[in-house]
């Protein structure tokens, strides 16, 4: 989830691009760079770190005047966040410069092809491959638009590409496949941006692009074609948001925006996970197959929301790999003298990669000769650097303190780890793994379906503005969902909320139930080990004592209706994958309830995004 800006017009491109990057810095702050077309050459500058580092470099070494340029603020995926991997990336002869958002799944094969042909690639990124391919096309006589069409037909994955040609200052060309890009329409100037905040200070007229389209902007106008070269038409609209809302895609909170980004985030987390032969492939798996076969115990360590993702992972790992799994709070891990040795795999889940408790826990594990695998959203952070292997979640920046898309993408990473271990250990056949991967690849659509019914959840939240306590019940993989739902209410609405395993009700928690108490019940899908029937018993128990039951139930399960005061429908998915859809209404409920209560949803009191002290 990077920020991209493109400009052609009469103004100084450097000023327009830098200003646009400042508006987009929330989309990525690992590095930033610009490329300008000036007198038949490329003038570029890029720096690791925040945009201020780039601005200082340009102040120290000014770039020449130019009216055509592109810029990028990066959220690292392939390659560490350093100067070399920062965008824009030039072609071999520095005729073409290109910026990129997304993941090119087949970049390894394309890179090998280029290197065989004598190309020297200087970065670790997938982006540089596209820059070299594009330059090959323009040097063979194609204009930049034709070159882009030729290149995108060879790329697999999700991407936005924006490029300039030093020998053609009249245009900027971009391509879009499953990654955001919008056109700003001006007078004698036109703009490109990851979202409208990139150019809203200059124009409020925008053009929405469809999938698999290439757009060319010049001073005179905008033209759009499909990847097959046939003319296409974008949807033109007027932006009536202010700048703050534009940064949030029209939402009132970054958190709400991030909830609605979850289908895309889950899809991105699944990109590039299979080899051309169909085998699972993980980001930085520096552990050999034999080392993984030797693993006879897994310990998951995490904090907060990541801990609940780990609890879901336990069900998947044990079911698919038949390896025993423990889930530990990272803050408690070292202090109980855990039993660790070379055959233990410690899985550390941390969105930031800097969580102090988790970092100290993995350092302790490594002193005991255990292998450590990190699940993380931040390329180049400390925990991945100190681990033996990494699965990056590719969620992009998460600005809201309360994690949403971070949680879902951590779940995806945990499922991928479980399937990968099953593949290596031979505990699941290839067709079984393919079946689960196909089910995972359907999840973005299922999450979209849940979000489309969000208004019902919002109305429910507004009915509970005076509520001071809420309970959440779940069984099996629904139990961590109940815990996460309760945590979101604590974080955002500042009310008493508890999550319980439904079978534990009669062992004490049922004493909390009183007349009118809202109880969210995550009902397992039908047909799995009587789980659903046991859950129905718990629902009957609390309803008989006056609770208001709000039941999250899969489509078609109408037998639950007599026991539910409110029904929230979920798509039909396997029980192990149900957390990916079941948690979404709970996120929406907490966000809306906090909003109507007048709280700051993005920055709840007493909390920080990353806990970097023990």
Catalytic residue ranges: 2, 609
Find, among 214, 192, 213, the residue nearest to 203 by Cα: 192
- E strand segments, 333-484: 344-350, 371-376, 389-392, 469-474
CA pair distance 68, 169, nearest whole angstrom: 6
Burial category of 339 from C-beta neighbours within 10 Å (exposed 0-12, middle 13-18, buried 19 and up): exposed
Find, among 37, 32, 2, the residue nearest to 19 by Cα: 32
What is the three-class DSSP state of 471?
strand
409, 265 in Cβ contact below 8 A?
A: yes
CA 538 to the chain's CA centroid: 35
CA pair distance 70, 298, nearest whole angstrom: 46
CA pair distance 434, 440, nearest whole angstrom: 10
**CA distance readout (Å), 569 to 66, 454, 486, 554, 579:** 55, 11, 19, 6, 14
CA pair distance 136, 79, nearest whole angstrom: 23
115-125 b/e with 16+ CB inside 10 Å = b? eeeebeeebeb
114, 129 in Cβ contact below 8 A?
A: yes
132, 104 in Cβ contact below 8 A?
A: no
């Amino acid at each position: 989830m990077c920020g991209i800006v493109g400009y052609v017009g009469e103004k100084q491109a450097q000023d327009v691009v830098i200003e646009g990057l400042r508006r987009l810095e929330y989309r990525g702050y690992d590095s930033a760079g610009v490329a300008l077309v000036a007198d038949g050459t490329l003038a570029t500058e890029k720096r690791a770190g925040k945009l201020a580092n780039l601005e200082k470099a340009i102040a120290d070494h000014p770039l020449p005047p130019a009216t055509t340029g592109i810029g990028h603020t990066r959220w690292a995926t392939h390659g560490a966040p350093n100067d070399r991997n920062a965008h824009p990336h030039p072609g071999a002869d520095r005729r073409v410069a290109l910026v990129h958002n997304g993941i090119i799944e087949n970049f390894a094969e394309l890179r090998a092809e280029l290197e065989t042909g004598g190309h020297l690639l200087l970065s670790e990124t997938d982006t540089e491959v596209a820059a070299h391919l594009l330059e090959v096309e323009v040097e063979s006589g194609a204009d930049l638009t034709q070159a882009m069409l030729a290149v995108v037909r060879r790329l697999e994955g999700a991407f936005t590409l924006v490029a300039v040609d030093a020998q053609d200052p009249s245009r900027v060309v971009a391509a879009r496949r499953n990654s955001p890009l919008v056109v700003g329409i001006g007078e004698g100037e036109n703009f490109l941006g990851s979202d409208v905040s990139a150019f809203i200070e200059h124009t409020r007229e925008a053009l929405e692009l469809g999938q698999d389209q290439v757009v060319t902007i010049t001073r005179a106008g905008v033209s759009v074609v499909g990847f097959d070269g046939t003319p296409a038409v974008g949807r033109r609209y007027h932006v009536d948001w202010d700048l703050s809302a534009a940064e949030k895609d029209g939402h009132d909170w970054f958190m709400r925006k991030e909830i609605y980004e979850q289908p895309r985030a889950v899809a991105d987390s699944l990109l590039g996970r299979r080899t051309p032969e169909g085998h699972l492939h993980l980001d930085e798996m520096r552990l050999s197959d034999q080392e993984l076969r030797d693993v006879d115990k897994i310990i998951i360590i995490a904090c907060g929301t990541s801990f609940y993702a780990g609890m879901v992972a336990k069900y998947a790992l044990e079911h698919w790999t038949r390896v025993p799994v423990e889930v530990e709070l990272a803050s408690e891990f070292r202090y109980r003298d855990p039993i660790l040795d070379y055959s233990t795999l410690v899985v550390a889940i941390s969105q930031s990669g800097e969580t102090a408790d988790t970092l100290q826990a993995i350092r302790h594990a490594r002193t005991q000769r255990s292998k450590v695998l990190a699940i993380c959203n931040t390329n180049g952070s400390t925990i991945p650097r100190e681990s033996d292997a990494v699965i990056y979640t590719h969620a992009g920046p998460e600005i809201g303190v309360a994690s949403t898309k971070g949680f879902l993408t951590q779940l995806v990473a945990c499922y991928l780890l479980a399937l990968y271990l099953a593949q290596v250990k031979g505990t699941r056949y290839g067709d079984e793994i393919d079946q689960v991967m196909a089910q995972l690849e359907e999840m973005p659509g299922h999450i979209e379906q849940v979000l489309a019914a969000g208004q019902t959840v919002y109305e429910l939240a507004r009915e509970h503005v005076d509520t001071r306590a809420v309970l959440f019940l779940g069984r099996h993989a629904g139990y961590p969902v109940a815990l996460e739902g309760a945590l979101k209410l604590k974080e955002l609405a500042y009310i008493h909320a508890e999550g319980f395993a439904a079978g534990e009700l009669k062992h004490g928690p049922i004493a909390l139930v009183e007349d009118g108490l809202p109880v969210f019940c995550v009902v397992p899908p039908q047909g799995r080990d009587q789980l659903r029937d046991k859950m129905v018993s718990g629902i009957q128990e609390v309803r008989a004592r006056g609770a208001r039951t709000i039941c999250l139930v899969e489509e078609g399960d109408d037998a639950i209706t007599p026991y539910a005061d409110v029904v929230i429908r979920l798509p039909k998915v396997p029980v192990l994958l149900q957390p990916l859809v079941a948690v979404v209404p709970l996120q929406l409920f907490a966000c809306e309830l906090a909003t109507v209560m007048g709280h700051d949803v993005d920055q709840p009191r007493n909390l920080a995004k990353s806990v970097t002290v023990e």
